[in-house]
Structure formats: C-alpha cells, structure tokens
C-alpha cells in the first residue's frame, strides 16, 4: 500500500475488523452497483471513500430536481443539464478520489447484457427500484456464485438482506414471486432521505465485510427498520430452499429473458420503452423534433417536451415517456415522434 493511501485510509485501517490486510483487499476489489438513485448513489460514494476503486455504475435514468432530496452525489447543475445518473455519479467519484476507476453505463440491466455488466464483479449491490431487475440480479448472482445485497426503502421503512449463494437463502427463497398488485413507491408514497441513507449504510457495511475478506461476518438476517416509529426488527434468514426455483432447482427464468416485459413502468408517472434496441443519431433526431416542441439534448440523451408529456430518448433507442402510465399511449408517442 502506498504511503498516501495509508494516510487516506488510516482511520479505517485502525478499525480492528479490517486492519491493513483488509484495506488492501478493499483496494483491489471490484463492485458493481445496479441503480444509482437514492440507495446506489450513497453506496457509490461510501464505497469510493472506503477505498473501493473499481466501481461499475449501471443506471438507465437521468437526474431530476426531485432526486436531489435523497440522491447524495448529485447537484442542481446535474438536474439542469439532465445528466444520466451513472455519468454524474462517476464524475463525482473521480473528484472524491482521483484513483477511482468509475465505469458508467447508461443502460437498462437486462438478461442480454447481464454477463457483460456483472460478470467481473466480486460483489453486486442493489440500488434498483423494481423487482424484475432484482430477480435478474438474483438469478445471475446465484448462477455465478457472486454475493449480492438486496435493499429497499420507501416512506420511512427499509429492508436489507445479504445473499451469499450456497450459504443463505436467495431472494426467491424468501419471495418466490413478485408482490401482487401495485406497491408503494417513492413517487406515490414519498420517502425520507434518512431511511435511504440508513439502508444503503447497512448494505455498504455488509459489502465491506465481503470485500475485505470476512464473509463469515456477514449478517445472516433480514433487517427491517421504520425510522418514523423507531421500530427495528431482525429475523434469521432461512437456509436455501431445496424447492426454490432459483438456487434449488436452478431455473434462471429472469436470466434467460423468459420474464422480460417489453415495457416496464418506472415507479412514477412514466413508462419506459425498452423493446427496441437500435442506435439512434440524437443530433439528427433533434433537428427533426425542434420544429415540433422544446428540445434539450446532450451527448447522453435527448429530452423532448410535448405538454403534458416529456420524452427522454437515449442513443440505444430506449425512451422514458413521462406524464402517463398508459403503455399503449407511450408506445404511440414513441412511434409518432421517434419511429416504429
């Protein structure tokens, strides 16, 4: 370890649970964060400050003003520019530590790209906002034997569950199928920023145990916290279930794309269209759309304002249509202004 790093991480090295050997392991580790919102942005900043210098950041979305209340790496200027979260996060991490190798991927995590995006990781961290992607991460982690840490937060309530393939229950052992019906989201039910930082802190603590070479210290519990009521509960994780469709029968239906929906709701008044994978020339599209309404564009995305709707279109052909939860209407707007 270089003298500069020994000084930078001196307070962490003095912690008996890590020491210099643990810190050196952390410096060599590679982590992937899926989702750079409230949980993921905190995870990224905390891991970078702890010495995890090889970080891959995956997020499909861009920064909005409403994100700044709880998404710790971002500033007003990021929202004004409409920067993708992964790009802005990577820039901020490099400013925190110039030695950080932060790789931003502005894309949807899918069965088709999971191997390329997740395959080299020592650890996967969940910062996502939907069960479909979490089940995909779970499938991939179990299939490759990579530990991952599930986390969720809404209102004042949060939940954390580490998954150590072959040692603990996986996500589908505990939740065999996604919850039925609509679920509260930060958009519909609100969220306190302190619960997102608490959940992310739990996740980072478990991550540091794994990355420093102490997986035996990882909590084998499911932790739930409600900061408004002050109630914290922990229950022991069950053993891996022999009849679990994922870690028991090893049926990776999310990883093989069998459960992939062509259009997914984004957890707010918006629809994501990700069924068309094709490169788009954003400069040409901008020239086409400018006579029809307000257009803002950068190298990462184009935003087209057509009140009461707003379309954010990405170079890979993906789009987020804001102002509706009607998938048919979103498809129609996409076809009308981007093309079938």
Chain segment 322-333, per-residue pLDDT in tens: 888 888 888 888
Task: Say yes or no: 184 and 304 in one domain.
Answer: no
Among 29-33, 35-39, 50-54, 130-134, the minimum mean pLDDT is found in: 130-134
Query: Are residue 318 and residue 198 in the same domain, yes or no?
Result: no
- Same domain, yes or no, for 320 and 281? yes
Whether the pLDDT of residue 299 is over 90: the answer is no
Could you tell me the CATH number of the domain that includes residue 308?
3.30.310
Which pLDDT tens digit goes with each residue over 70-120?
999 999 999 999 899 999 999 999 999 999 999 999 988 999 999 999 999
Mean pLDDT of the 140-157 span: 97
On average, the pLDDT of the chain sits at: 91
The pLDDT > 70 percentage for the chain reads 94
The domain total for the chain is 2
Which of 236, 252, 273 finishes a domain? 236
Concatenating the DSSP letter of every residue in 141-172 gives HHHHT--EEEEEEEBTEEEEEEE-TTTS--HH
Last residue of a domain, one of 194, 219, 236: 236
Residue with tokens 């003298």: 3
Note whether residue 108 is domain-resident. yes
164 within some domain: yes
Query: Are residues 33 and 122 both part of a single domain?
Result: yes
Domain membership of residue 140 (yes or no) is: yes
Q: Are 213 and 283 in the same domain?
A: no
Q: Is the pLDDT of residue 258 over 70?
A: no
Residues 100, 64 share a domain: yes
Task: Give the three-state DSSP class for 251.
Answer: coil
Q: Is residue 257 part of a domain?
A: no
Two structure tokens written together for 227: 């900061």
In a domain, residue 247? The reply is no
Domain of residue 139: give its range.
Answer: 3-236
- Measured in whole angstroms, the distance separating CA 183 from the mean position of its chain's CA atoms is 18
Tell whether 270 and 206 lie within a shared domain.
Answer: no
Cβ-in-10-Å burial (0-12, 13-18, 19+) of 260 comes to middle
**Same domain for 309 and 181:** no
The mean pLDDT of 229-255, rounded to a whole number, is: 94
Residue 181 has pLDDT above 70, yes or no: no
- Considering the domain architecture, whether residues 113 and 174 belong to the same structural domain is answered as yes
42 with 172, same domain: the answer is yes
Are 229 and 282 members of one domain? Answer: no
At 231, which CATH number?
3.40.50.720
DSSP string, 70-94: T-TT--HHHHHHT-BHHHHHHHHHH
CB atoms within 10 A of CB 135: 22
Task: List all residues 6 or more positions away from 5 whose beta carbon is below 8 Å from its beta carbon.
Answer: 23, 27, 51
d(CA 4, CA 308): 53
Phi, psi of 205, deg, nearest 5: -60, -45
Examine residue 160 and state whether it is found in any structural domain, yes or no: yes
152 shares a domain with 100: yes
Q: Is residue 202 part of a domain?
A: yes
pLDDT reported for residue 334: 87
Tokens of 54: 């090889």
Give pLDDT, residue 167.
Answer: 94
In terms of DSSP bridges, do strands 231-236 and 221-226 run parallel, antiparallel, or are they unpaired?
A: antiparallel
Q: Is residue 26 part of a domain?
A: yes
Domain finish residue from 198, 218, 236: 236
């Amino acid at each position: 370890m270089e003298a500069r790093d020994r000084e930078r991480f001196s307070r962490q090295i003095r912690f008996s649970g890590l020491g210099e050997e643990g810190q050196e392991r952390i410096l060599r580790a590679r982590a992937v964060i899926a989702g750079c919102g409230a949980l993921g942005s905190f995870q990224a900043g905390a891991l970078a400050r702890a010495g995890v210098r090889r970080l891959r950041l995956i997020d499909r979305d861009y920064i909005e003003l409403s994100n700044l209340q709880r998404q710790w790496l971002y500033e007003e200027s990021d929202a004004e520019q409409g920067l993708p979260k992964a790009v802005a996060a990577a820039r901020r991490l490099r400013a925190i530590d110039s030695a950080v190798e932060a790789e931003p991927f502005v894309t949807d995590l899918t069965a088709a790209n999971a191997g390329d995006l997740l395959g080299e990781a020592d650890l996967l961290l969940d910062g996502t906002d939907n069960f479909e992607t979490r089940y995909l991460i779970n499938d991939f982690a179990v299939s490759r034997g990579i530990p991952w840490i599930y986390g969720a937060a809404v209102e004042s309530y949060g939940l954390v569950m580490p998954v150590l393939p072959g040692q603990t229950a996986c996500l589908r052992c505990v939740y065999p199928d996604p919850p039925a019906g609509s679920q509260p989201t930060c958009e519909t039910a609100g969220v306190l920023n302190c619960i997102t930082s608490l959940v992310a802190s739990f996740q980072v603590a478990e991550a540091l145990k794994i990355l420093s070479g102490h997986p035996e210290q990882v909590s084998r519990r499911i932790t739930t916290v409600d900061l408004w009521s002050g109630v914290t509960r922990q229950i022991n994780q069950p053993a891996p279930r022999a009849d679990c469709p994922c870690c028991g029968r090893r049926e990776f239906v999310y990883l093989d794309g069998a459960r992939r929906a062509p259009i997914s709701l984004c957890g707010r008044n918006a629809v994501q269209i990700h069924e068309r994978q094709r490169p788009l020339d954003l400069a040409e599209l901008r020239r086409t759309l400018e006579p029809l309404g307000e257009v803002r564009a950068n190298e990462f995305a184009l935003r087209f304002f057509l009140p009461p709707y707003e379309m954010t279109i990405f170079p890979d052909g993906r789009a987020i249509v804001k102002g509706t939860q009607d998938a048919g209407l979103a498809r129609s707007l996409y076809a009308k202004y981007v093309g079938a």
